[in-house]
Chains A and B, each alone.
Chain A
Amino acid sequence: DVKVTQSSRYLVKRTGEKVFLECVQDMDHENMFWYRQDPGLGLRLIYFSYDVKMKEKGDIPEGYSVSREKKERFSLILESASTNQTSMYLCASSLTASGGPGEQYFGPGTRLTVT
């Protein structure tokens, strides 16, 4: 079974802190994604990556950055956390070569609260 793990289930940070959310997948998937999920808004794509050291902006990249130094790990960084970044963050990975469409496997999520 594919396993996508996220470093924390719950996280509380203060406004202005730098926050790192880590995601690791164990199936040698090419593609990795970061979403945030807010009530009534579904999943919104923040950033994604089709290869090591490669990143693309999603629909809501403002206030976030990412890092993919190794194929299995995709990190989401909040440079200076703000209260409007309080949300559930979901990481996903998919296998399809060349970024083609395919099933995305999700991690359990990190519920981040910024106070």
Chain B
Amino acid sequence: GESVGLHLPTLSVQEGDNSIINCAYSNSASDYFIWYKQESGKGPQFIIDIRSNMDKRQGQRVTVLLNKTVKHLSLQIAATQPGDSAVYFCAENLSNQGGKLIFGQGTELSVKP
């Protein structure tokens, strides 16, 4: 059944510091992973993706690391800015499930000025 009033994991960082947001995914057959950012009152926005044949992928100020051995995904944000404050979701795609994504619970990032 559903749980009411669950609190999101939160991460609080100082402006300018690096942030690391972690995600444990559920299925070893997942072959594609994606990170989204959701600001208050908006829909999720794409940040970066990675396929299972890679361990690391870099974007502008962001890096995604994939450890398939322990089914772990992380998002690193360099020089975190106040505009990075949001909820961050990881999502996985199962190789036999077409375009469906399975989303994690999300982590709330708060950046202190």
Interfacial residues, chain A to chain B (CB-CB below 8 A):
4, 31, 33, 35, 38-45, 48, 50, 58, 90, 92, 94, 96, 98-109
User: For this complex, into which size category does the number of interface residues on chain B fall?
Assistant: 20 to 34
Total A-B pairs, Cβ < 8 A: 73
Known A41-B3, A101-B93: A90·B103 in contact at CB below 8 Å: no
Known A41-B105, A50-B99, A99-B99: A109·B89 in contact at CB below 8 Å: no
- The 10 A-B pairs with the shortest beta carbon distances in the complex, nearest first, are A40-B6, A99-B98, A106-B43, A101-B32, A101-B93, A43-B103, A42-B103, A99-B99, A42-B105, A31-B99
B75 to chain A, nearest CB (A): 15
Binding-face segment, B13-21, B44-52, B57-65, B66-74: B44-52
Contact A100 B7 (CB under 8 A): no
Q: Does B34 count as interface, using CB distance less than 8 angstroms?
A: yes
Contact A108 B7 (CB under 8 A): no
* Complex Cα gap A81–B101 (Å): 26
**CB-nearest residue of chain B to A104:** B101
Interface positions, chain B 92-113, Cβ under 8 Å from A, are 93, 98-101, 103-106
Name the A residues within 8 Å of B34 (CB-CB): 103-104
